[in-house]
Amino acid sequence: MKNLNLKTTIRKDIAEMKPYVAVPFLWDINQKLERPIKLDSGENQFGCSPKVIGALAAAGLFNFYPDSEYKQLRAVFAKYTGISIDNIMVGSGSDELLDLLFRLILDQDDQVINCPPTFGMYEVLVKLNKGKIISVPRLANFSLDMTGIKKALNEKVKMIVVCTPNNPTGTTTSKDEILTLLRTNKIVIIDEAYFEFSGSTVVPLITKYPNLIVLRTLSKWAGLAGLRLGYGIMNPFFVEQLLKIKPPYNVNSAAVIAGIAAMSDDEWKKRVTKTIVMERKRIKCELQKFPRFEVYPSKANLLFIKVKSNYEELKKALLNESIIVRYYDSYKAFRLSVGTQTQNTKVIEVCKKISVSQQESIIFDMDGVLIDVTESYRQAIVLTANYLLGKETIKASDVDEIKAIPGFNNDWDVTYVLYALAKQNRLKRDWSKIAKAMLPVDRKSQEFLQIFSVFQTYYLGSKMFIDTYKETPPFNYSNSLIAKEKCLIKPNFLKQLIKMGYKIAIATGRPKTEALEAIRLARLTSYFSANNLVALEDVTLEKPSPEPLLLAQKIINAQKSIYVGDTQNDKIAAKAANMDFYFISTIRDGDSFPNVNSFLQWFINKRRL
Chain segment 506-556, per-residue pLDDT in tens: 999 889 998 999 999 999 999 999 999 999 999 999 888 999 999 999 999
Predicted pLDDT at 518:
92
Task: Decide which of 551 and 32 is more confident.
Answer: 551
Q: Which 8-state DSSP code applies to residue 531? A: G
Beta bridge partners of 189: 161, 213
C-alpha to C-alpha distance for 360 and 374, rounded to whole angstroms: 31
DSSP symbols for 250-288: -S-HHHHHHHHHHHH-HHHHHHHHHHHHHHHHHHHHHHT
What confidence score (pLDDT) does residue 40 get? 79
Q: According to the model, what pLDDT value does residue 247 have?
A: 94
Please answer whether residues 100 and 243 qualify as being in contact, where contact means their C-beta atoms are separated by less than 8 angstroms: no
Average confidence score pLDDT of the chain: 89
Lowest mean pLDDT across 149-163, 223-237, 269-283, 439-453: 439-453
In the predicted structure, residue 609 carries a pLDDT above the cut 50: no
Residue 424 has pLDDT above 80, yes or no: no
Instruction: Report the top-level CATH class of 26-36+44-265.
Output: alpha beta
Query: Does residue 602 register a pLDDT over 80?
Result: yes
Q: Where are the alpha helices (DSSP H) in 358-376?
A: none
Q: Mean pLDDT over residues 198-215, rounded?
A: 96
Q: Select from 3.90.550.10, 3.30.2270.10, 3.40.50.1000, 3.30.1440.10 the CATH code of 362-368+488-607.
A: 3.40.50.1000
Task: Kindly report which listed range (59-68, 148-157, 181-190) carries the lowest average pLDDT score.
Answer: 59-68
Band (604; pLDDT cuts 50, 70, 90): confident
**pLDDT tens-digit map of 98-120:** 999 999 999 999 999 999 999 99
| 360 band by pLDDT with thresholds 50, 70 and 90 | confident
Q: Of 282, 279, 335, which Cα lies nearest the Cα of 307?
A: 335
Q: What is the mean pLDDT of residues 216-242?
A: 95
CATH 3.20.20.70 fits 268-357, yes or no: no
**What percent of the chain lies above the pLDDT cut of 70?**
92
Condensed to tens digits (0 to 9), the pLDDT of residues 248-257 reads: 999 999 999 9
List, for residues 448-475, the tens digit of each pLDDT value: 889 889 988 988 989 989 988 899 999 9
Q: In angstroms, rounded to a whole number, what is the distance separating the alpha carbons of residues 327 and 315?
A: 9
Amino acid residing at 115: C
- Measured CA to CA, the distance from residue 278 to residue 161 in angstroms comes to 29
Distance, in Å, from the CA atom of 478 to the CA atom of 517, rounded to the nearest integer, reads 18
Confidence of residue 146 (pLDDT cuts 50, 70, 90): very high
Please give the single-letter amino acid code of residue 539. V
pLDDT confidence tier of residue 30, bands split at 50, 70 and 90: low
Q: Which amino acid makes up residue 471?
A: E
Distance CA 555, CA 121 (A): 52
pTM of the model: 0.65
pLDDT of residue 439: 63
Q: For residue 390, give every residue at least 6 positions away whose Cβ sits within 8 Å of its Cβ, in sequence order, or none.
A: none
Residue 501, burial from CB neighbour count under 10 angstroms (0-12, 13-18, 19+): exposed
- pLDDT of 364 > 60? The answer is yes
Rg of the chain (C-alpha set): 32
Cβ(381)–Cβ(410) under 8 Å? no
Kindly tell me if the per-residue pLDDT of 390 is higher than 90.
no
The whole-number pLDDT of residue 358 equals 62
Q: What are the domain boundaries of the chain?
A: 26-36+44-265, 268-357, 362-368+488-607, 376-484
- Establish whether the linkage from the previous residue to 594 is cis, with ω within 30° of 0: no
pLDDT value at 355 more than 80: no
| Position 356 confidence tier, pLDDT thresholds 50, 70, 90 | low
Per-residue pLDDT for 405 more than 80?
Answer: no
> How many Å apart are CA 81 and CA 89, to the nearest integer?
12
C-alpha to C-alpha distance for 386 and 389, rounded to whole angstroms: 5
Three-class DSSP category at 37: strand
User: Residues with Cβ < 8 Å from 1, sequence gap 6 or more?
Assistant: none
pLDDT digits (tens, 9 = 90+) for 279-313: 999 999 999 877 778 899 999 999 999 998 778 88
User: How confident is the model over 431-444, as a mean pLDDT?
Assistant: 64
Burial of 403 (0-12, 13-18, 19+ CB in 10 A): buried
pLDDT tier at 434 (50, 70, 90 boundaries)?
A: low
Q: How far apart are CA 552 and CA 442, in angstroms?
A: 28
Q: Return the pLDDT at 33.
A: 67
The answer to whether the CB of 503 falls within 8 A of the CB of 556 is: yes
Band of residue 344 on the pLDDT scale cut at 50, 70, 90: very high
